[in-house]
């Protein structure tokens, strides 16, 4: 018999976070006993509807919104697509302009590019114009360039609250102020998916018209998210049918998912301050240890400007695919942060936008820590990474 597999050190919370026990317990009754369709009228349906609306009210309160502004979706990607294409779908301009930062998630950039390329006509859109705003070496949006890109023809501005790859927190309050001054008719959207476990979204995204949240990045279930749609924000649905969610997103409600998202957001909010400090300390120990043990290790962005759980590192002279394989063999789960549909890892558009060379971008590894991360996980990564990098450099 071979040697037993090493224990897993899960350091890929930015990809998905393990479900919290409290979330699983909150969702459990809706699998067998409370199974009604929330759109019905009998007692089982009314019970499901009460649970759904209770979850909506709690999510709204935690996100600084009104219950009627909370739209349940199938996750962060759908929410981002709904934000981009939904605003463009009701825009009265012949050639509306979408403004995005260069480091947005593909769920924002892809629909914006589709609309700009004319393919948006398949969903009833005219051709839009896409303006991509550069970022600095830390991944933060260039506010002067943003200001210069705005005008009366801008329909939508999308700037994420925190980057999913390197973790950089964007100056969203300043972004909102500039948008109000330079393009007062524009809708401001922020993807807060990555930020939600560590930042108070209600405060940080107070100036946004649209806010994207995804449950599984908070220790909730996969396949459910929210788009906060502030009152008065025009939005054309992408999914038509029974008219659920005030006709903004049709489809039978995932009541268990909504309950799980509310429970995950509640736990994250209650533990935010303590977890930010605890996880940040673990991240610092991991980064400091790797930089000490592995010459030529660089942090992609200053720690003071990124989320507490992000450690995005470049190891000179290695290929990220090979290092990820060796780390996986040692039981350490990490990621490159960007992959194309074929499975081959491409240089990150985020790192390239930050000024990295293609070679530097291919040497980057993302370790992301979260609510389940322990000292043992950090110890395992510190034991596994240095010999793996040395082996690859040889």
Q: Which residues contact 200 (CB under 8 A, 6 or more apart)?
A: 269, 272
283 & 252 share domain: no
3 lies in some domain: no
- The per-residue DSSP string of 150-172 comes to -STTEEEEE--SB-TTT-BBP-H
pLDDT at 174 over 90: yes
pLDDT at 59 over 80: yes
212 & 138 share domain: yes
Structure tokens at 167: 């973790």
pLDDT value of residue 119? 47
pLDDT value of residue 340? 43
pLDDT at 219 over 60: yes
107 & 182 share domain: yes
pLDDT value of residue 91? 81
115 lies in some domain: yes
Q: Residues 301-350: pLDDT tens digits?
A: 999 999 999 999 999 999 999 999 999 999 999 999 754 433 556 799 99
132 & 244 share domain: yes
pLDDT value of residue 247? 93
- Quote the mean pLDDT of the chain: 94
208 & 336 share domain: no
Beta carbons of 75 and 239 less than 8 angstroms apart: no
Give the integer Cα–Cα distance in Å for 314 and 320.
Answer: 9
pLDDT value of residue 126? 63
Q: Around Cβ 172, how many Cβ atoms within 10 Å?
A: 23
362 lies in some domain: yes
Number of domains into which the chain is organized: 2
- The per-residue DSSP string of 60-100 comes to HHHHT--GGGEEEESSHHHHHHHHHHHHHHT--SSS-EEEE
Q: Residues 220-276: pLDDT tens digits?
A: 999 999 999 999 999 999 999 999 999 999 999 999 999 999 999 999 999 999 999
pLDDT at 195 over 80: yes
For residue 209, the domain's CATH number is 3.40.640.10
Please state the rounded mean pLDDT for residues 364-371: 98
Determine the Cα angle at 273 with ends 272 and 275, to 5°. Answer: 65
pLDDT value of residue 32? 83
pLDDT at 120 over 50: no
pLDDT value of residue 234? 93
| H-assigned helices in the chain | 21-27, 29-32, 43-63, 76-89, 106-116, 143-149, 172-182, 201-204, 244-247, 255-293, 320-329, 349-353, 358-361, 375-393
Distances 2 to 5, 6, 22, 327, 330 between C-alpha atoms, Å: 9, 12, 37, 19, 14
pLDDT value of residue 339? 44
pLDDT at 3 over 70: no
pLDDT at 98 over 80: yes
Token pair 């960007």 is found at 338
199 lies in some domain: yes
For the ranges 102-106, 127-131, 180-184, 233-237, the lowest mean pLDDT is seen at 127-131
102 & 191 share domain: yes
pLDDT value of residue 152? 79
Grade residue 118 by pLDDT with cuts at 50, 70 and 90: low
44 & 124 share domain: yes
For residue 322, give its domain range. 9-18+271-393
79 & 188 share domain: yes
Beta carbons of 125 and 85 less than 8 angstroms apart: yes
- Residue 345's Cβ-side half-sphere holds a number of Cα atoms within 13 Å equal to 19
pTM for this predicted structure? 0.95
Does the annotation count 340 as an active-site position? yes
Answer with the one of 234, 266, 298 that is the final residue of a domain.
266
Task: Judge residue 32's burial from the number of C-beta atoms within 10 Å of its C-beta, 0-12 exposed, 13-18 middle, 19 or more buried.
Answer: exposed
pLDDT at 298 over 60: yes
pLDDT value of residue 90? 83
pLDDT value of residue 345? 65
3-class SS of residue 306: strand
Give the integer Cα–Cα distance in Å for 294 and 88.
Answer: 48
DSSP state at residue 365: E
For residue 336, the domain's CATH number is 3.90.1150.10
4 lies in some domain: no
């Amino acid at each position: 018999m071979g040697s037993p597999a090493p224990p897993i050190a899960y350091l890929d919370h930015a990809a998905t976070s393990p479900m919290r026990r409290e979330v699983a317990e909150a969702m459990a009754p809706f699998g067998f006993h409370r199974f009604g369709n929330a759109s019905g009228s009998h007692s089982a349906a009314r019970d499901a509807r009460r649970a759904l609306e209770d979850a909506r009210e709690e999510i709204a309160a935690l996100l600084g919104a009104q219950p009627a502004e909370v739209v349940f979706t199938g996750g962060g990607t759908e929410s981002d697509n709904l934000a981009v294409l939904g605003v463009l779908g009701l825009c009265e301009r012949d050639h509306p302009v979408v403004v995005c930062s260069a480091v947005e998630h593909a769920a924002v950039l892809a629909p914006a590019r589709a609309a700009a390329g004319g393919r948006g006509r398949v969903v009833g859109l005219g051709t839009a114009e896409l303006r991509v705003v550069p970022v600095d070496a830390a991944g933060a949006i260039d506010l002067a360039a943003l200001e210069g890109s705005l005008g009366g023809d801008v329909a939508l501005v999308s700037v994420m609250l925190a980057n999913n790859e390197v973790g950089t927190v964007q100056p969203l309050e300043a972004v909102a102020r500039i948008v109000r001054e330079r393009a007062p008719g524009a809708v401001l959207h922020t993807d807060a998916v990555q930020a939600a476990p560590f930042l108070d979204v209600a405060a940080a995204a107070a100036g946004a018209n649209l806010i994207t949240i995804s449950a599984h990045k908070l220790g909730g279930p996969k396949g459910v998210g929210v788009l906060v749609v502030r009152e008065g924000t025009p939005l054309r649905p992408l999914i038509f049918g029974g008219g659920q969610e005030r006709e903004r997103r049709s489809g039978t409600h995932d009541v268990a998912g909504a309950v799980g998202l509310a429970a995950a957001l509640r736990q994250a909010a209650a533990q935010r301050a303590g977890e930010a400090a605890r996880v940040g300390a673990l991240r610092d120990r991991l980064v400091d240890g790797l930089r000490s043990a592995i010459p030529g290790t660089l942090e992609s962005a200053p720690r003071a400007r990124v989320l507490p759980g992000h450690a995005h590192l470049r190891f000179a002279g290695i290929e990220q695919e090979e290092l990820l394989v060796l780390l996986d063999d040692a039981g350490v789960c990490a990621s490159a942060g960007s992959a194309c549909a074929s499975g081959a890892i491409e240089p990150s558009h985020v790192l390239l936008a930050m000024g990295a060379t293609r070679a530097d971008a291919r040497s980057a590894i993302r370790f992301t820590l979260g609510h389940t991360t322990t000292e043992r996980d950090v110890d395992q990564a510190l034991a596994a990474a240095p010999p793996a990098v040395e082996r690859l450099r040889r």
